[in-house]
Structure 1
Amino acid sequence: MNQPATKVLVIGYVWPEPRSSAAGGHMMQILQSFLDQGWDITFSSPATLGEHKADLPSLGIHECAIELNNSSFDDFIRTLAPDIVLFDRFMMEEQFGWRVEKHCPDALRVLETSDLQSLRDARQQRLKEYLKRKPEADDFGAVFCDALDEEFQLMADSDLAKREIAAIYRCDISLMISEVEIQLLTEHFKVPAALLHGCPLMVEAPTAAFAPFEDRAHFLSIGNFRHAPNWDAVLWMKNSVWPLIRQQLPGAQLHVYGAYTPPKATALHNPAQGFHVMNWAEDALQVMTAARICLAPLRFGAGIKGKLVDAMLCGTPSVTTPIGAEGMGDDQPWPGVIERSASALAAAAVALYQDPEGWARAQENGRRLLARRYAQEIHGPALVERLEQCRSQLAEHRRNNFTGSMLRHHLHKSTQYMAQWIEAKNRSV
């Protein structure tokens, strides 16, 4: 007799937009891993629909809009009775975790962190403070911190870190996109390794020939403008990096693509300077394949960068910073160049742009890196195996996580009463 399909409920912070952000792409890769197992998936979210939302029903995924602070969710989840609940970002666990535990206590609770938002926020604050002291700074070696104990010191007193790491404890498994973040959590925040699972971006490594050097032209930058690290990178390119490139390559052109382009971004468009703000790319891989160099001068951030995985998929060498490359490579050569200052980034970009042999080596380094570290055929089944293993030992797993049980007891009670108060208040209005 066939066993019923495993039921998965995803509670999304937003509806996934794989062509707008790496987070959206990663969610779709996770969903595909579940679909490959024949699992029955329902995706829910309290968010409004975005412009570039994925067509989930065409994949056989059910959709359901849900509301914050509304007991209608209780009826919904009781009826659905999922075996696994995946919270997309810790804020969704804060909002809905107590309801999930109350009505489906035996469901495996999984947190998709996307990246450590508290780490990203701490780095952003550090950059702001650095720029207050040195507004004309060119070299950001002091900002690109290699020591995780210093990152811990930055984060440890923040409310955001306390909220985010508490959510990790309250869940049975948290999906971590970066090995660096796993190391930070286990070694410095003392989170048990049993609560974490490394789940990077998952792609099929390209096997076909890439477009060659001579068929490529121009520089490209891409990233959702709503994501603060991307916007900072665009400003740094505009004000510091790109002028240095144009000094050495007067005819150089930079095409800047991004979803949800705000007026402040379109105001930077300046064809005379070769700086073209192109808005959203209908097909990010197509425009990446046409470019010769991907520029990603990120001064803060966390996780691993979808734009750099896309660059490797397209055979486009990248010029980035230690933040951009963090957690993405290994002991083999990076598929491009990593530098810490505007002048060094510009010099590297110009040199690579004019070096067919070095460019071709970087292109192949990217192909090999994808095969070593990002293969869907490896990480997808590994994710499913870890979840099934945890489900089979759930009672023991939870007993070994007393801290998580304690945090759920205290937070979920207070969250429940607050949610019920808000719902009652909304009904009386």
Structure 2
Amino acid sequence: MFLFSRVRERLGALRRRRREAGQPRAAELALEVAMPWIVSESRFPEVRSEPDPLVSVVIPAFGELPMTLRCLHAVARAAGGASHEVIVVDDASQPSLVDALGSTRGLKVERLEAQRGFVGAANRGAAVARGRLLVFLNNDTAVCDGWLDALSRRLLGRDVGIVGGQLVSPDGRVQEAGGIVWRDGSATNYGRGLHPEAPAVAFARPVDYVSAACLMIEHRLFRELGGFDERYAPGYYEDVDLAFRVRASGLRVEYEPAARVYHLEGGTAGTDLGSGMKRFQERNQRVFRDRWPHVLLQQPTRELGPDLARVHGAGRACLVVDRQLPTPARDAGSQRLSRMLRELLEMGWQVTLAAFDLADGAERPALESAGIEVLRRPFVHSLEAYLRAHGRRFDRVLLSRLGVARRLLPTVARLCPSAGVVFDTVDLRSLREGREAALRDDSRARKRAERTRKAELRMVAKADATLVTSPIEREYLARQNRIATIAVVPTSYPVVRPQMEFERRSGALFIGGFGHAPNVDGILWFLDEIWPRVKILLPEFQLHVLGEEPPQELYRRARAGVHIHGFVPDVSAFFEQVRMSVAPLRFGAGLKGKVHQSLALGLPCVATPIAAEGLGLMPDLHAVLAAGANDFAEGVIRLNSDRDLWQRLSIEGRAHVGRYFSDDAMRAGLVQALSARRGS
């Protein structure tokens, strides 16, 4: 009877969720909630027990055999790849859980002879655990697929001491997505009531604490810290106190949304603050406050609000809007933006990112895992509506590309009154358009470029700071606006020593997205004017062309030895196989990622002056530079046969990029731009 009443309850919740509008996957999530409870109490699960487990899952339990069985079924079903053992600690239940669970294959059951509450039971479980990592899990939970692997990956990251998952109520709404501790010692579960995939709770971040209903910590660290403090026995605030002790040791406490755990909340302890376990909640808050008075002075007050307090230690908030979410495998602009976002996080900023049209993207999970909040439909219907509700919390707004800045800057100025605005040109479109117009001697294109130039200068004048990718662009803008703050933020590529030697390489590589006009023009010019000259002396020479959406014209002009690969997600193998890259660009602006990346990877490049612009390259020291078709073909032929030249370019090109286009250079430009305010 108990089982079927719970089934009806869960399916009723499912039907209610289906009726709700604007909540994506609500019905599926509600069904996922219901399913762990639709399990026969007469069927015992089989759990894994490995001889040398990475993780020990410790489940304190007091009575509630059906609830504990459902928890074990979920753990067994969602085991994942991490090797683990499962330990149930019976907190002196009557009747004993040992008798009921003793036949469960793979399960280790410990029994306390006297009731010690969650704190004592958890510490006992840790004492007999064999895993390098410990997970404390309430018995009124149902874990989801991938939970253990997600927690383990996060904990094994740099300087992480505790990780907690996303707790979801049986109705499919968030119960806790990390916790906030206020200055008075009270605590708040962040995200309560939100959809589990809502942007505010879908990104990983450092937090004040995570609930012991699902908490992972390294076994050695837990032991060194003395476990859960017994002064909080039988329970409540032991997890908050442990988080503060872990942070005092120099490690972070992190929230991992990919570890989703459904939690009955009160299923074990009840909900009445005046009776049962819950009566210890207020008492232990006082104990906690008395223990950490000086640290609590550094915590925010409730007036700050949960949205600004949700990230531990992060003071300032920055909104970044680009044309689309970055696709770093596809274009250099996305690679630069991805590295800028990483730098902002490392500088201590809370980062919120949005595509101008709020479209989703394949890279979103990786961005959220890195700690970036990503606004998207259907959770956010318009940027204006979002900024009307949240605009005042942003200290800076970075608008990427002219089209985005032109359409959004007035809205930002109105709804984010305290935010400084940074205009990121990505590359100067007017410079690129003007050069193309000159190349084609097109008067209409010249007029279009002039209109673009005036629009860019209006954005420069209205913004608090402007970002460019090279000193040449900074000088170009500075001549037209002498009072603007213009910061150089170049792309930074990791410098890597090439593995393959000169003799084992052959052919050339062109890489670039073909939605970008300079790339289309450049490769067609190369095939028409340069390739025939190269093939006269190097008849076996091969050219590999990589890039998204190659036009039909490219296929029509391709000749023998030209291989058009289209989009390639991982281009590293090509950089190790070919002898050189070619960058035959005749117009453009900004740093060219194809040249920059090639030098960083130690692959010598033959480039036009336009392609090498802004990099400060010396001919035959950092790259082979050639303007006309004859010179370019001669450069390819010479580099193909001159081993000493190849070695020099490989070594010096890498050194040059590492010296002038590092993460430090990117950070210095960002610091300058984010510190600037008009009139100051």
Scaled by the length of structure 1, the TM-score of the pair is: 0.79
In 2, the alpha carbon distance for the partners of 1:254 and 1:384 equals: 38
Contact 2:322 2:399 in 1 (8 A): yes
Map 1:42-191 to 2 at 5 A: 42-47=352-357, 48-49=359-360, 55-65=366-376, 72-80=382-390, 81-129=393-441, 158-187=450-479, 189-191=480-482
Segments ≥4 residues shifted beyond 2 Å: 2-5, 46-55, 70-75, 78-81, 154-157, 203-206, 208-211, 260-270, 330-336, 387-390
The 1:182/1:384 distance shift into structure 2, 3 A limit, reads closer
Deviations 1:190-214 (A, max 9, x none): 342x4200111123333x4542201
In 2, the alpha carbon distance for the partners of 1:171 and 1:51 equals: 31
Map 1:156-305 to 2 at 5 A: 158-187=450-479, 189-192=480-483, 194-206=484-496, 208=497, 210-270=499-559, 273-305=560-592
In 2, the alpha carbon distance for the partners of 1:294 and 1:15 equals: 28
In 1, the alpha carbon distance for the partners of 2:658 and 2:365 equals: 26
Say whether residues 1:22 and 2:302 are aligned partners: no
Contact 2:400 2:424 in 1 (8 A): yes
The 1:265/1:331 distance shift into structure 2, 3 A limit, reads closer
In 2, the alpha carbon distance for the partners of 1:263 and 1:284 equals: 22
1:381 deviation in Å? 3.1
For 2:665, the equivalent position in structure 1 comes to 379
The one of 399, 405, 421 aligned to 2:679: 399
In 1, the alpha carbon distance for the partners of 2:529 and 2:365 equals: 36
In 2, the alpha carbon distance for the partners of 1:242 and 1:364 equals: 27
1:286 deviation in Å? 2.8
1:268 deviation in Å? 3.7
In 1, the alpha carbon distance for the partners of 2:500 and 2:381 equals: 54
Contact 1:22 1:307 in 2 (8 A): yes
Contact 1:178 1:304 in 2 (8 A): yes
The residue type paired with residue 385 of structure 1 is: V
Say whether residues 1:31 and 2:341 are aligned partners: yes
1:101 deviation in Å? 0.9
For 2:63, the equivalent position in structure 1 comes to none
1:14 deviation in Å? 1.9
For 2:38, the equivalent position in structure 1 comes to none
1:336 deviation in Å? 2.4
The count of corresponding residues between Structure 1 and Structure 2 is 363
In 2, the alpha carbon distance for the partners of 1:332 and 1:389 equals: 37
In 2, the alpha carbon distance for the partners of 1:51 and 1:155 equals: 38
- SS of the residue corresponding to residue 627 of structure 2 reads coil
In 2, the alpha carbon distance for the partners of 1:231 and 1:339 equals: 19
1:345 deviation in Å? 0.4
The 1:72/1:298 distance shift into structure 2, 3 A limit, reads closer
The one of 36, 40, 44 aligned to 2:350: 40
In 2, the alpha carbon distance for the partners of 1:331 and 1:266 equals: 34
Higher Cα radius of gyration: 2
Structure 2 stretches lacking a partner, 5+ long: 1-297, 300-312
In 2, the alpha carbon distance for the partners of 1:238 and 1:157 equals: 28
Say whether residues 1:349 and 2:640 are aligned partners: no
In 2, the alpha carbon distance for the partners of 1:277 and 1:198 equals: 34
The residue type paired with residue 431 of structure 2 is: L
The residue type paired with residue 57 of structure 1 is: E
How much is the aligned-residue C-alpha RMSD, in angstroms?
2.4
In 1, the alpha carbon distance for the partners of 2:377 and 2:482 equals: 31
The residue type paired with residue 74 of structure 1 is: E
1:112 deviation in Å? 1.2
Q: Which of the pair is proportionally richer in helix?
A: 1
Deviations 1:39-82 (A, max 9, x none): 21111113455677783212121111379xx9942331233321
Contact 1:16 1:54 in 2 (8 A): no
Contact 1:17 1:54 in 2 (8 A): no
For 1:143, the equivalent position in structure 2 comes to none
1:333 deviation in Å? 5.2
The 1:330/1:278 distance shift into structure 2, 3 A limit, reads closer
Contact 1:311 1:317 in 2 (8 A): yes
Structure 1 stretches lacking a partner, 5+ long: 131-153, 401-429
Contact 2:489 2:665 in 1 (8 A): yes
The residue type paired with residue 669 of structure 2 is: L
